[in-house]
Amino acid sequence: MKSHFDGKPDTRLYAIMPARAIQDDKLHATGLRVLGALCLHANKYGICWPSRITVGRHIGKSTSTVSRHYGRLVKAGYLRRLQGKAYPVPRRQPGRWYTARFQILYEGVETPMPTYEQFISPKPRVVAELDEAPVEEAADKSKGVRGMQAKSLAQAFVSGVAAASGVHRTAEPSLMAAATLAEQGVDAEAVRDYAMQMTLEALKARRQPPLTLNQVVQWAGLG
């Protein structure tokens, strides 16, 4: 069933949002829409982790715009970014890309941190996304920006391995995998987090840290 709004994905017919956001004159209109899109994917505890591409498709904005408003919503007390180390996403789920984890702060910054059981509690079913790319700003469509995003993710892999082990990898062998992750909207923070987790696990098992980002992708079940 297609949405009534051309170019945007079908979703459930409602989102539960913090009422105070509606009354907040300081909240940018796009920020309110980003918050609403996140709420479409949130479980009953306010936990969600849709990709920036998914959120961008909902509101017809670029991933860079989505990221900018994530930061503003966190600062305004509507979102809490959950650390991947404390809240690991269940792995080995084909076709799913996990990026930043968020908690909607319905009660403001006083909202308690979720338990892991609440974190993995079932989320609302959202109909499969459209294949088309979101409406992008001209710069986001350029090959140069894509290349820069891939380099950033490859460097995040290098940084994660180094932080966990002191071993320094080179970024170049990871650029192809990084480009794929960039297309899916995976951010550098998530890549660094996964690289650190895999490296720590490898060291604990007396194995070598990952050589390339592709190993991290396979380990984390991102491919």
Residue 93: the pLDDT is: 43
> What is the pLDDT at residue 47?
92
C-alpha span between 55 and 73 (Å, rounded) = 14
Of the chain, the percentage scoring pLDDT greater than 90 comes to: 34
Give the sign of the dihedral formed by CA 54, CA 184, CA 101, CA 30. negative
Domains in the chain, CATH or no CATH each: 19-119 (1.10.10.10), 142-219 (no CATH)
First and final C-alpha spacing in the chain: 28
Report the pLDDT value the prediction gives residue 89, as an integer from 0 to 100: 67
Low-confidence ranges of the chain (pLDDT < 50): 1-11, 92-97, 127-142
pLDDT of residue 106: 94
Task: Give the pLDDT of residue 46.
Answer: 94
Beta bridge partner(s), residue 102: 48, 81
Give the residue carrying structure tokens 């469509």: 141
> Which two structure tokens, joined as six digits, stand for 168?
């320094």
| Contact by Cβ (8 Å): 194, 209 | no
DSSP codes joined into one string, the chain:
---SSTTS----S-----HHHHT-TTS-HHHHHHHHHHHHH--TTSEE---HHHHHHHHT--HHHHHHHHHHHHHTTSEEEEPTTTSPPP---TT-----EEEE-TTGGGSPPPPHHHHTSPPPP-PPPPSSPPP--HHHHSHHHHHHHHHHHHHHHHHHHHHHHS----SGGGHHHHHHHHHTT--HHHHHHHHHHHHHHHHHTT-PPPSSHHHHHHHTT--
Q: In what order do the strands lie in the sheet with 101-104?
A: 47-48, 101-104, 79-82
